Structure 1
Amino acid sequence: MTTQDMLDDRYGRRRSPSRRWLLAIGALVAVGAVGYVGWSIVQSTLDAVDADTTSFEVVDEHSVSLGFQITSPPGRDVACAIEAQDEEHGVVGWRVVEIPASELHAQALREVIPTTALATTGFVNSCWVVSP
């Protein structure tokens, strides 16, 4: 028997069961918070789309041909914002391309971007899964 136990027996001091309940509830809340954060990370990676520019060709002063590859979840529609810039990094052409659902995980695509002036580069700005 420890000294604390002897003192508790002598003077009638007892440990409160409510403190144990508070610790148990706090532990459950912490486990729930960790589970929520983990699931939201997994969910965001399930809908992730990766895009890489593979080539571009300045066709003339009014268009750029852009080659790119996307990696997306199979069976989901995807949209990509593609962009053309001039030598001073000003945007001279931009459009959103909608890519229909495919059973392939990776797709190679080629699109034409209309431009308002002579472009020097073309690239994929961003891609995302289109909500149903």
Structure 2
Amino acid sequence: MTTPDELDDRYGRTPSRRRRLVATLAIGVGAVAAGAIAWGAVSNVLDDVDVETVAFDVVDEHSVSLSFQVAAPAGRDIACALEARDPDHGVVGWKIVEYPASTQHTIAVREVIPTLAEATTGFVNSCWVT
């Protein structure tokens, strides 16, 4: 004969130890996953670097002068890839520059990009935290 307690266990009317353990583990895994997603979103923003080209000047057929502003996390070294292109959008000059950590959030920079042929434009391809 089946007892009332066995029937309750069989049909889920009372929580068993196993169910409580599974529920606790599921909540724990969910909390860890939510924390990992939140940290991934925050850490990407912490190392975010914004750049704005202010001006460029074709100095001669072998160089382009480029002025730009970089907004980066204070106290972090950064690097930027600068590029010069010709009228057909071909790359005629390329330069990687590194800047030491600064106490300021935004810095203004002027660089000269050496070119193999006369360029028609100069710009910052990208910047990143090193």
TM-score norm. by structure 2 comes to 0.89
User: Which stretch of the first structure deviates more once superposed, 15-24 or 36-45?
Assistant: 15-24
Runs (4 or more) in structure 1 with deviation over 4 Å come to: none
Give the Cα separation in 1 of the matches to 2:111 and 2:64: 8
What is the SS of the residue equivalent to 1:12?
helix
Query: Residue in 2 aligned with 1:126?
Result: 126
Determine if the alignment matches structure 1 residue 9 to structure 2 residue 1.
no
> Following the alignment from structure 2 to structure 1, what is the Cα–Cα distance between the partners of residues 118 and 53?
19
CA distance in 2, matches of 1:10, 1:89: 79
Alignment gaps of 5+ in structure 1: 1-7
Shift of 1:78: 0.7
Counterpart-to-counterpart distance in 2, 1:74 and 1:22: 45
**How is 1:1-132 mapped onto 2 (pairs within 5 angstroms)?**
9=4, 12-14=7-9, 15=12, 16-130=16-130
SS at match of 2:88: coil
Residues in 2 aligned to 1:11 and 1:106: alpha-carbon distance in whole angstroms? 70
Gaps of at least 5 residues in structure 2 are: none
In structure 2, what is the Cα distance between the partners aligned to 1:122 and 1:13? 76
Q: Quote the sequence identity (%).
A: 54
In the TM superposition, residue 31 of structure 1 has moved relative to its aligned partner by: 1.2
The residue type equivalent to 2:96 in the other structure is V
SS at match of 1:74: coil
Kindly tell me: are residues 13 and 61 of structure 1, through their superposed partners in 2, closer, same or farther at Cα, counting changes over 3 Å?
same
Q: How many residues align?
A: 124
Greater Cα shift, 11-20 or 96-105: 11-20
Q: Give 3-state SS (helix, strand or coil) of 1:110's partner.
A: strand
- Aligned Cα RMSD in Å? 1.7
